[in-house]
């Protein structure tokens, strides 16, 4: 099947980049000047359009998101998914993209596995491999070290607490064949947490059986409550209950600035805390 995608990109690079990353798909990516040209194309009904890509090249993004909002307000585009592509990955940009009507956000520089997962999802194509399935950012595409650094700087400048939590899915029976099953549980639990936690919180795949959470505005006392909530979700959520095979979530957390002000030291302290907790299982 051939898919037609309209692409608004003043630099004209995205069409070539995506054609290369998705060369196994029959994609026809057509450059568009602005939302008016997109609307005219859609109204002409000369082709079936599967999606619109909108590249945000400037940090002064108000005009781009206003244009996307106008596009989504038109009847011909209400059900058409829009993918925002940008190197600006602050949460304020993500939120603006969502509020303007975007269905997906792809960050630059690209992670090809993540790009494929998102585009397959938009085009309603079944994922073709475990690599596509396990590409880890559902809507927000972040690199954890980068995001951690940003959140640390924000907490330091703003004078608020930042908690870093680690969830490790463990098999009390220590069955070496449980690796794939535990990995799948971690994957689905990351989806549950992204839905259930606050919009300001972030969830990342840390290792195959571990998730790391960034929790801004969460003090040491609040971290204990979050840990209890995470454990409760694991044992009570219907999706996890259906897939769980007697595994146990081990949770540990550290808080900036109470437990330290250097990210490397905080990570070391977190790793030790989770290791100590696993050893007493």
**Interval 16-66: pLDDT, tens:** 889 888 888 889 999 999 999 999 999 999 899 999 999 998 766 678 999
* Domain positions in the chain: 2-134, 144-279
Quote the pLDDT of residue 136: 44
- Name the CATH superfamily for 144-279: Reverse transcriptase/Diguanylate cyclase domain (3.30.70.270)
* Segment 178-207 mean pLDDT: 87
Quote the pLDDT of residue 83: 95
- CA–CA dist 70, 35 (Å, integer): 8
Name the E strands within 210-259.
210-216, 248-256
CB–CB of 49/24 below 8 Å? no
- CA–CA dist 260, 190 (Å, integer): 26
Quote the pLDDT of residue 249: 97
Q: What is the pTM for the complete model shown?
A: 0.54
pLDDT higher than 60, residue 150: yes
pLDDT higher than 60, residue 157: yes
Quote the pLDDT of residue 273: 94
What backbone phi and psi angles, to 5 degrees, belong to 218? -110, 110
CB–CB of 53/8 below 8 Å? yes
The residues, ordered by sequence, that sit 6+ positions from 263 with a Cβ below 8 Å of its Cβ are 148, 149, 152
Q: Among candidates 28, 40, 22, 23, which has minimal Cα distance to 3?
A: 28
* Segment 220-245 mean pLDDT: 93
* Confidence class for position 139, pLDDT limits 50, 70, 90: very low
CATH topology of domain 2-134: Rossmann fold (3.40.50)
- CA–CA dist 176, 60 (Å, integer): 51
Quote the pLDDT of residue 60: 65
Quote the pLDDT of residue 142: 47
Q: Among candidates 135, 89, 94, which has minimal Cα distance to 116?
A: 135
Quote the pLDDT of residue 29: 94
pLDDT higher than 90, residue 87: no
Quote the pLDDT of residue 137: 43
């Amino acid at each position: 099947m051939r898919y037609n995608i309209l692409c608004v990109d003043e630099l004209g690079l995205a069409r070539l980049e995506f054609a290369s990353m998705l060369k196994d798909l029959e994609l026809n990516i057509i450059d568009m000047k602005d939302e008016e040209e997109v609307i005219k194309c859609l109204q002409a009904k000369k082709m079936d359009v599967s999606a619109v890509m909108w590249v945000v090249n400037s940090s002064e993004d108000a005009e781009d998101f206003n244009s996307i909002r106008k596009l989504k307000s038109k009847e011909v585009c209400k059900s058409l998914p829009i993918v925002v592509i940008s190197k600006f990955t602050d949460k304020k940009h993500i939120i603006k993209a969502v509020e303007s009507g975007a269905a997906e956000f792809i960050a630059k520089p690209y992670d090809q596995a993540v790009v494929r997962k998102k585009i397959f999802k938009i085009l309603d194509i079944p994922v073709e491999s475990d690599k596509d399935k396990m590409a880890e950012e559902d809507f927000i595409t972040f690199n954890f070290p980068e995001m951690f650094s940003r959140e640390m700087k924000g907490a330091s400048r703003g004078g608020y607490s930042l908690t870093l939590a680690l969830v490790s899915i463990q098999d009390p029976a220590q069955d070496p064949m449980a690796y794939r099953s535990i990995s799948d549980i971690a994957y689905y639990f990351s989806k549950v947490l992204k839905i259930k936690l606050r919009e300001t919180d972030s969830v990342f795949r840390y290792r195959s059986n571990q998730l790391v959470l960034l929790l801004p505005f969460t003090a040491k006392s609040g971290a204990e409550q979050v840990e209890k909530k995470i454990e409760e979700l694991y044992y009570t959520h219907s999706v996890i209950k259906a897939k769980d095979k007697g595994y146990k979530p081990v949770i540990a957390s550290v808080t900036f600035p109470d437990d330290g002000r250097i990210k490397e030291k905080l990570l070391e302290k977190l790793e030790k805390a989770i290791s100590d907790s696993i050893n007493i299982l």
